[in-house]
Structures are given as structure tokens and as C-alpha cells.
Amino acid sequence: MPISRRGSGVVPAARAVASQVHPVFMLPPVAASWFGSMLAGEFSLATGGLHMVAIFAAVYTAHVKDGYVDFYIRGEDEDHPLTAKGCKLLLVAAATLFLVCLGGLWVTVGVGAVLITLPTWFIGYLHAPQLDTNPITTTTGYPLGIALSILGGYYVQTGTLSPVAIAFALVFLVLLSGVKVIDDAQDYEYDRTISKRTVAVVLGQNRARTAAYGLILFALLCVLGLSVSGVFPPSSVLAVLAFGAVAVVAYRSGPELATMLLIRGSYVFLALLLTAVWFRPFS
């Protein structure tokens, strides 16, 4: 059964499979899992690795399903590297990998690790066409996956959750929801023609932009306040300053450039928070 639409054989098939690995969008969820493990203050490579692979499988599922829906069902994309059967085969393979990781987490950590990780697969699989047509779910789906990755990474190391882990997860949920609103604004004109109800379509571009940066500002103020109060490490302030500088530049840019800046800025934000948690340079 051919997997690739661009030739038969091992090499075209491998390229088609690899085409669904999008580092810009896949790295943050996997890194969030690692961040959760580091936040726990202890790290088991086995359980941490199982959780990170499970998160990778969930995001891979989202990309394959999204590509299948956009090309074969909606007709939005002009081309796609995978055949329809290839998409379905990879969905089964990714789900199998995810279930294997869940089984490993069940054995090494317990059923709680399964329950906190399982929703990430549903978010990925249902992203298109179920969740990406509602202004709330299309905005919060990816950020919620990041938040669950943080909580899951923490839980698989400790077998419990803490207020600090929950606070970090909520901060990323709010901040990345703001970034997602700006990202969706890139397709404002097209989304209107297909009645895709993103925040930009529902509120209009200007009000959506205001709401997006309001969410980002609120998330940064939360980190700042929790840093000052001692809940977060004091050096978390550096992450706020760094991302704040990126947000100021992005605010003066169009949706495409703003999205690029904010996504990459979120990498820096996560890296600085990880440094603050792990090394605590100001403590």
C-alpha cells in the first residue's frame, strides 16, 4: 500500500512520514513535558522519556489528521505528501505508539499518569475538523496540550501535582492562547469565506488583536507577581522581560511576522523559565 503521493518505495515513503514532523509546533509540547519533569526537582529518564514520546505521538497525530482533513475532506490545501490510506496508516501507527507509552506509564507510575496524559491524544485527533471551527476550542486546543504536557511531565516524576506546576501550566495556557489568536488572524479573509469561526472572525481583527495581547500581558503579569511573591523562582522575571520585549516588537508587526516572533519568543520564555527552575540563579 503506497504511503507517498510522490513515488513508491522506501525513500519516498520515509520522506512522506517525516513530512508530518513540524519542529516549530512539535518542539514546544515535548519541551513542556521536559519542563514539567525538571519542575519536579527529580528526573527519571524512563518515565520522562515515555511521557515525551507520548506527547510527540499525540502532536504527530494532530498534524497527520489536520493534513488529511484539509486536503482530502475540505479541499483547502493544493497538495499533500501522503495518500489517504497513508494518512490512516500513520494515524494507527501514532495511536499505537501513544498506547504503548501509556502502558509503560501505567506500569512505572500508575493509572494517574495515564489519565493526565490521555487527553493530549484526544486534543490532537479531534483538532480537525471538530475543534478547529469553534473560536474557543480552536484557540485553546494547542495551548491546552502544552499545559497538560507540563502537568503530565511533573506527575510522571512525582505521582502528584503541586500548586506551582498548576500555576505554570495555567500561565502557558493563557499566554499561548493569546499567540494562537494572532496566528489565526493570518487566515482571517479565507476563514470568513468558509465560515470558520476563529476569534478574529467572530470579534473582528482589531478586537481580536487587543484580546490576544491582553491575554499575553495577563500571563506575563501573573509570572511577575508570582515571582515577587516567591511562588515562582525570582529569576523567572528574566523570562517575563525577554518575552515582553518580543511582544512589544510583535505588537507593531503584521499577523505573520508577529506569529513568527511570538512562537520563537515562547521558546526563549520556556528556556528561561526552565533555567530559573532548575538552576535558581538568584536564590
Residue 283: the pLDDT is 58
Boundary of a domain, candidates 116, 143, 159: 159
The conformation of residue 21, written as its DSSP 8-state character, comes to -
CA–CA distance, 276 with 269 (Å, rounded to integer): 11
* Boundary-marking domain end, from 111, 141, 159: 159
Cβ-proximal residues to 241 (8 Å cutoff; 6+ apart), any chain: none
Is the domain of 16 the same as that of 154?
A: yes
Tallying the residues shown for the chain, one arrives at 283
The CATH number of whichever domain residue 127 belongs to comes to 1.10.357.140
Task: Work out the average pLDDT over 93-98.
Answer: 98
What pLDDT is attached to residue 1?
Answer: 59
Instruction: List C-alpha distances in Å: 138 to 31, 76, 149, 182, 218.
Output: 22, 17, 18, 12, 20
C-alpha dist (Å) from residue 78 to 7, 71, 74, 170, 273 = 18, 7, 11, 37, 40
CA 41 – CA 56 distance, rounded (Å): 23
Cis before 129 (ω within 30): yes
Query: For 4, phi and psi rounded to 5 degrees?
Result: -95, 145
Mean pLDDT of 82-97: 96
The one-character DSSP state at 88 is H
In SS3 terms, 107-153 reads as: HHCCHHHHHHHHHHHHHHHHCCCCHHHCHHHHHHHHHHHHHHHHHHH
- The answer on pLDDT for 194 being more than 80 is no
**37 shares its domain with 103:** yes
Task: Report whether pLDDT(241) > 70.
Answer: yes
State the pLDDT confidence band at 282, using cuts at 50, 70 and 90.
low
Residues 31 and 122 in one domain: yes
Average pLDDT over residues 10-23: 92
How far apart, in whole angstroms, are the C-alpha atoms of residue 67 and residue 196? Answer: 16
| Structural domain boundaries enclosing 71 | 10-159
Q: What average pLDDT does the chain have?
A: 92
Characterize 29-48 residue by residue with b for buried, 16 or more Cβ atoms within 10 angstroms of its Cβ, and e for exposed. Answer: bbbbbbbbbbbbeeebeebb
pLDDT of residue 238: 94
Contacts of 87 (CB under 8 A, 6+ apart): 64, 65, 67, 68, 72
Q: What is the mean pLDDT of residues 161-186?
A: 94
User: How many structural domains is the chain composed of?
Assistant: 2
Give the model's pLDDT for residue 168: 93
Whether residue 97 sits in one domain with residue 19: yes
Compute the distance between CA of residue 132 and CA of residue 20 in angstroms, rounded to an integer: 18
State residue 83's pLDDT score.
95
The answer to whether residue 192 sits within a structural domain is yes
Which domain-ending residue is among 132, 159, 186?
159
Task: For residues 127 and 169, state if they share a domain.
Answer: no
The mean per-residue pLDDT over the stretch 52-72 comes to 96
Residues 6+ apart with CB under 8 A from 105: 47, 50, 51, 54, 113, 114, 117, 156
133 or 161: which carries more pLDDT confidence?
161
